[in-house]
Amino acid sequence: MNTLLVGAQWGDEGKGKIVDVLTEQHDAVVRAQGGNNAGHTVWVGPRKYVLHLVPSGILRPDCLCLIGHGTVIDPLALAGEIKALHRRGINTKGRLFISDRAHLVMPYHRVLDLGREAAAKGKKIGTTGRGIGPTYNDKASRVGLRAGDLLDADHLTASIRARVKEVNVLAKHHGWDTVHSPRIIIDYCAAGRFLAPYITDTALKINTLTARGKKILFEGAQGTLLDIDCGTYPYVTSSNTTAAGLCTGSGLPPNRVDKIIGALKAYTSRVGEGPFPTEAPDLADLLHALGREFGATTGRPRRCGWLDAVLLRYAVAINGIDEFAITNLDGLDTLPVINIATAYRLRGKTLTAPPAAIEDLYACQPVYQTCEGWQSDTTKIRSFNQLPPNARAYLRALEQILGVNIKTISVGPRREQTFHT
Ligand code: GDP
Ligand code: IMO
Ligand code: MG
């Protein structure tokens, strides 16, 4: 049984929490795209963990965790994340596997990422600054270094020297910081020694686990609307964040996928720049005042707005979502009225799917269906039937609009604040 979990919005849907809940029924969890731009929050009892590259399954002692070839890995950040887990008593030896084919984020990728953002002024993307775009750029240009290169110090040293020379020419041209190979060589050789026992062919391992009938959960990072092809380009990340990306990024053959779950927040949030038709600053103020919706990776306040069924129907279509897991229902607890955008108006026309041109999406006006709020605390509720009638009506309306059932409901950040319908 292979299950894919994808973010249905602009990331931060609560994927980490849902993965943690579902991992109880799985033998392995796989990350297949993105890098440490992701921040997945999981609470285990009183302890909060924010995972960036290590799959959220690591918090269940019997679960295997694989980081597939479609990811981009900052080896220093990954080594730091693993060491931090060790300090908190979590064993990774024999449980964590890193693809030898995953591309490496290098210090110059971060320089390029930050340099381009600074130069873009009014047109910046609002990236996480983790060097993700330039790393995927090098991968596509076939000049990248891969995790397997960490296993041979001489080869790694020569590759770093050659690439740094090329990159510094570009950096000087733009007036950006140059980087120095001796420091990088020392740091990356050390990280290579630390990570070496984890590096292997993860695609083959996934294949073997599947052949043995093991249950694998594929943990999406980012969300559908940040997808490089289907998202709100150019305000996207640089990988395929959709269901298909989890196959190419892990080596899971598409005909071995059994179920696709969409993770969905009960409202919408977005970090960084770009269009957001249902953005509602008042809702953002309310959530921020409650200490909610600050980025798990960068700490930036997230932009917030109403649910957007135009974008969600698009997410259902291109991911093939079989069922939804909805999180943060409790975020709406105090509201008298809740909106769901069911269509857009654009220059006198009604649209039921998002336009491709970013200028058009900026100009779209949402058409709202209004639902009555429930104005009561849902955080202690543990079954669908205990939910206030207006909360049930909101969820049923959503299922109707999206044509997909909501099978999992989350009313708080903790494992126990979850139930199934
Ligand atoms: P991810 O990137 O999709 O894993 O999501 P993040 O961890 O970046 O952001 C989701 C945030 O919502 C985290 O702070 C979670 O602890 C929190 N969270 C998840 N589900 C719920 C929920 O149902 N209610 C509340 N109050 N918080 C939740
Ligand atoms: P998780 O997995 C929310 C956003 C950035 C920026 C754009 C490009 O936690 O849901 P990048 O650094 O990837 O080049 O930035 O994508 N972004 C995310 N937003 N959640 C994430 O991950 C994100 N990863 C990247 O804010 O707008
Ligand atoms: Mg996140």
CA max distance for the chain: 66
Count of other CB atoms within 10 angstroms of residue 26: 22
C-alpha–C-alpha distance, residues 363 and 365, integer Å = 7
366: in domain:
yes
Q: What are phi and psi of 121, to 5 degrees?
A: 45, -115
Q: Is 396 helix (H, G, I), strand (E, B) or coil?
A: helix
C-alpha–C-alpha distance, residues 393 and 349, integer Å = 29
pLDDT at residue 297, as a whole number: 85
Nearest one of 305, 309, 307, 313 to 274, comparing CA atoms: 305
Output the CA 40–ligand 3 centroid distance in Å: 5
pLDDT at residue 201, as a whole number: 98
Encoding tokens for residue 259?
């179920």
Alpha-carbon Rg for the chain, nearest whole angstrom, is: 21
pLDDT at residue 102, as a whole number: 98
H/E run at residue 58: none
Output the CA 328–ligand 1 centroid distance in Å: 7
pLDDT at residue 298, as a whole number: 87
C-alpha–C-alpha distance, residues 194 and 211, integer Å = 30
Residues near 287 by Cβ (< 8 Å), separated by ≥ 6? 267, 293, 304, 331
- 40 in active site: yes
pLDDT at residue 272, as a whole number: 94
C-alpha–C-alpha distance, residues 234 and 179, integer Å = 27
C-alpha–C-alpha distance, residues 7 and 404, integer Å = 15
Judged by its nearest atom, the ligand closest to the C-alpha of residue 293 is 1
Distance of CA 193 to the CA centre of its chain: 28
Beta strand 323-327 with 259-265: parallel, antiparallel or unpaired?
A: parallel
Cα three-residue angle 182-188-193, rounded to 5 degrees? 130
| Pair (191, 262) in one structural domain | no
| Pair (84, 111) in one structural domain | no
Peptide bond into 234 cis (omega under 30): yes
The single residue listed with the structure tokens 């795209």 is 33
Alpha carbon nearest to ligand 2 atom 25, residue:
37
Encoding tokens for residue 344?
């857009």
The minimum-distance atom of ligand 1 relative to the CA of 17 is 19
Alpha carbon nearest to ligand 1 atom 12, residue:
14
Alpha carbon nearest to ligand 2 atom 20, residue:
11
Active-site position among 26, 40, 69, 109 = 40
Q: Which residues line ligand 1 (CB under 6 A)?
A: 7, 11-17, 39-41, 296, 327-328, 330, 410-413
Distance of CA 122 to the CA centre of its chain: 25
| Pair (165, 288) in one structural domain | no
Q: For residue 118, what are the domain limits?
A: 103-198
50: in domain:
yes
| Pair (212, 167) in one structural domain | no
CATH of the domain at 37: 3.90.170.10
| Pair (82, 185) in one structural domain | no
98: in domain:
no
Alpha carbon nearest to ligand 2 atom 23, residue:
222
Judged by its nearest atom, the ligand closest to the C-alpha of residue 17 is 1
The minimum-distance atom of ligand 2 relative to the CA of 37 is 24
Residues near 323 by Cβ (< 8 Å), separated by ≥ 6? 259, 261, 262, 404, 405, 406, 407, 408
| Pair (151, 20) in one structural domain | no
Q: How far is CA 18 from CA 12, 44, 60, 99, 151, in A?
A: 11, 12, 13, 24, 34
- Domain's final residue, options 160, 183, 198: 198
- Domain's final residue, options 176, 198, 220: 198
pLDDT at residue 259, as a whole number: 98
Output the CA 388–ligand 2 centroid distance in Å: 34
Residues near 133 by Cβ (< 8 Å), separated by ≥ 6? 113, 116, 125, 127, 237, 238
Report the residue among 271, 298, 300, 358 best suited for mutation to probe ligand 2: largest number of ligand atoms under 8 A from its CB: 271
pLDDT at residue 171, as a whole number: 87
Output the CA 228–ligand 3 centroid distance in Å: 17
| Pair (228, 188) in one structural domain | no
C-alpha–C-alpha distance, residues 269 and 277, integer Å = 11
Half-sphere exposure of residue 354: CA atoms within 13 angstroms, side-chain side: 29
One digit per residue, pLDDT tens: the chain, 421 residues?
999 999 999 999 999 999 999 999 999 999 999 999 999 999 999 999 999 999 999 999 999 999 999 999 999 999 999 999 999 999 999 999 999 999 999 999 999 999 999 999 889 999 999 999 999 999 999 999 999 999 999 999 999 999 999 999 988 998 888 999 999 999 999 999 999 999 999 999 999 999 999 999 999 999 999 999 999 999 999 999 999 999 999 999 999 999 999 999 999 999 999 999 999 999 999 999 999 999 988 899 999 999 999 999 999 999 999 999 999 999 999 999 999 999 999 999 999 999 999 999 999 999 999 999 999 999 999 999 999 999 999 999 999 999 999 999 999 999 999 999 9
Encoding tokens for residue 23?
């991992």
- 282 in active site: no
Alpha carbon nearest to ligand 2 atom 13, residue:
237
Q: Which residues line ligand 2 (CB under 6 A)?
A: 7, 10-12, 37-40, 125-128, 130, 132-133, 221-223, 226, 237-238, 271-272, 296
CATH of the domain at 108: 1.10.300.10
Q: What are phi and psi of 113, to 5 degrees?
A: -60, -50
- Domain's final residue, options 168, 198, 228: 198
C-alpha–C-alpha distance, residues 381 and 385, integer Å = 9
Q: Is 227 helix (H, G, I), strand (E, B) or coil?
A: coil
| Pair (151, 256) in one structural domain | no
Output the CA 41–ligand 1 centroid distance in Å: 6
pLDDT at residue 105, as a whole number: 98
pLDDT at residue 170, as a whole number: 87
| H-type alpha helices, 88-238 | 107-120, 132-140, 153-174, 181-195, 202-211
| Pair (107, 53) in one structural domain | no
Is there a contact between 113 and 259 (Cβ–Cβ < 8 Å)?
Answer: no
Is there a contact between 201 and 207 (Cβ–Cβ < 8 Å)?
Answer: no
| Pair (155, 253) in one structural domain | no
How many domains are there within the chain? 2
The single residue listed with the structure tokens 């993105």 is 34
**What pTM did the predictor assign?**
0.97
348: in domain:
yes
| Pair (274, 404) in one structural domain | yes
Beta strands in 52-145 (DSSP E): 64-67, 72-73, 96-99, 103-104
266: in domain:
yes
pLDDT at residue 121, as a whole number: 82
Alpha carbon nearest to ligand 1 atom 8, residue:
12
| Pair (225, 357) in one structural domain | yes
